[in-house]
Amino acid sequence: MSEAQADEVTVVLEAAEHTDGVAPVGEHVRLRMRPGATGSAHLLARVDGVVAGYAHLDLLGDSAGNQVAEFVVHPDHRKRGLGAELGEAVVEKADNLRVWAHGGHPDAEALAGKHGFRKVRELLRMRLRLDADLPVAALPEGVSLRPFVPGRDEAAVVYVNHRAFDWHPEQGAMSIEDVAHKEAEDWFDPEGFLLAVDADGKLLGFHWTKVHDLPEPLGEVYVVGVDPDAQGGGLGKALTVAGLRYLKDQGLRQVMLYVESDNTAAVRVYTRLGFTLWDADVQYGQ
């Protein structure tokens, strides 16, 4: 995608997010919109020469071999068949297709049903007000926290991330290059990327926080990963609370996170910390 096309699509994405209250595509799509990025098909729908709709197809797919699509129509051009046209174009182009509907938009559900798709996955978005005191969650004995050091910690983080998320369709495939790309984003803050290490400096887990630049800044529990060999001793909860405390110390009043709906253990932990359901992203497949 050219820089000019990316700028046009960004206008559509921002308009949709302003209207719907949720980003219409995932973060990785915006990264793939950069000039020179590979592994994607970009479909643009124009009305009178202006981009009015956009579909992204991840040709590399997830760990199960599914190609994954996300699409959006500018609010000013909805109810005119553009969504259906984009959907048909993606279906014709893709193999083993899965489609995300961010925020579980009812129009997306109707469109999915039209093409014979059913709900196959649900990603919950939960949020927490940081007004109240956070619980105390001590680190296991011999474990300490330090911030991420760019240029030094990427390989260790990717290794632990892969071990922690080998079951996850997207997260488990994160590469050193992916981390480097995110380090180049405006939101990246190494001080908010907390690493848990043992006495020998070995990485046991991490909590990568994120802050969304909104009229009222919104914190995010971006990724909490714990090496399987270090699980079961309370490290995950301690890392989660440490990240929440960091975000609160930055003056943030609200934080959110994403969690798979069938990850009952994680949902239980977050619920006990005070997180409540906000909305959900739904993935459809045939």
The pLDDT score that the predictor gives to residue 111 is: 74
DSSP H/E element including 169: none
The pLDDT score that the predictor gives to residue 62 is: 81
The pLDDT score that the predictor gives to residue 131 is: 87
Q: Tell whether 96 is in a known binding site.
A: no
Q: Tell whether 267 is in a known binding site.
A: yes
Cβ neighbors of 93 (< 8 A, separation 6 or more) are 41, 43, 57
Give yes or no for residue 172 having a pLDDT over 80: no
The pLDDT score that the predictor gives to residue 12 is: 95
Measured from the Cβ of residue 241, the count of other Cβ atoms closer than 10 Å reads 18
Query: Where does the pLDDT of residue 166 fall: very low under 50, low under 70, confident under 90, or very high at 90 and above?
Result: confident
Q: One fold for both 3-116 and 127-280? A: yes
Q: Tell whether 258 is in a known binding site.
A: yes
Give yes or no for residue 169 having a pLDDT over 80: no
Strand 203-212 and strand 144-147: pairing? unpaired
The pLDDT score that the predictor gives to residue 187 is: 93
The pLDDT score that the predictor gives to residue 256 is: 95
Q: What residue segments make up the domains of the chain, in order of their start?
A: 3-116, 127-280
Select from 160, 266, 168, 251 the least CA-distant residue to 208: 160
Out of 53-67, 99-113, 187-201, 265-279, give the one with best mean pLDDT.
187-201
The pLDDT score that the predictor gives to residue 87 is: 86
Cβ neighbors of 134 (< 8 A, separation 6 or more) are 241, 244, 245, 248
Read off the tokens for 127: 């949020």
**Residue spans of alpha helices (H) in the chain:** 3-20, 27-32, 82-93, 106-114, 154-164, 176-183, 235-249, 264-272
Q: 127-280 has which fold?
A: Aminopeptidase (3.40.630)
- Tens of pLDDT along 57-103? 999 888 778 899 998 999 999 988 888 899 889 888 888 889 988 88
Report the pLDDT averaged over residues 242-253.
96
Q: Tell whether 266 is in a known binding site.
A: yes
Select from 66, 60, 136, 57 the least CA-distant residue to 95: 66
The pLDDT score that the predictor gives to residue 257 is: 95
Q: Tell whether 232 is in a known binding site.
A: yes
Q: Report DSSP letters for 248-277, one per residue.
A: HHTT--EEEEEEETT-HHHHHHHHHTT-EE
Task: Report the C-alpha gap between 93 and 266 in whole angstroms.
Answer: 36
Q: Tell whether 257 is in a known binding site.
A: no
Q: Does domain 3-116 have CATH number 3.40.630.30?
A: yes
Q: Tell whether 210 is in a known binding site.
A: yes
Query: Where does the pLDDT of residue 51 fall: very low under 50, low under 70, confident under 90, or very high at 90 and above?
Result: very high
Q: Tell whether 27 is in a known binding site.
A: yes
The pLDDT score that the predictor gives to residue 61 is: 80
Q: Tell whether 220 is in a known binding site.
A: yes
- Tens of pLDDT along 108-150? 777 777 778 888 889 999 999 998 889 889 999 999 999 999 9
Q: Tell whether 231 is in a known binding site.
A: yes
The pLDDT score that the predictor gives to residue 72 is: 92
Query: Where does the pLDDT of residue 269 fall: very low under 50, low under 70, confident under 90, or very high at 90 and above?
Result: confident
- Tens of pLDDT along 22-37? 888 988 898 899 888 8
The pLDDT score that the predictor gives to residue 116 is: 81
Select from 284, 261, 268, 274 the least CA-distant residue to 123: 261
Give yes or no for residue 170 having a pLDDT over 80: no
The overall average pLDDT reported for the chain is: 91
Query: Where does the pLDDT of residue 208 fall: very low under 50, low under 70, confident under 90, or very high at 90 and above?
Result: very high
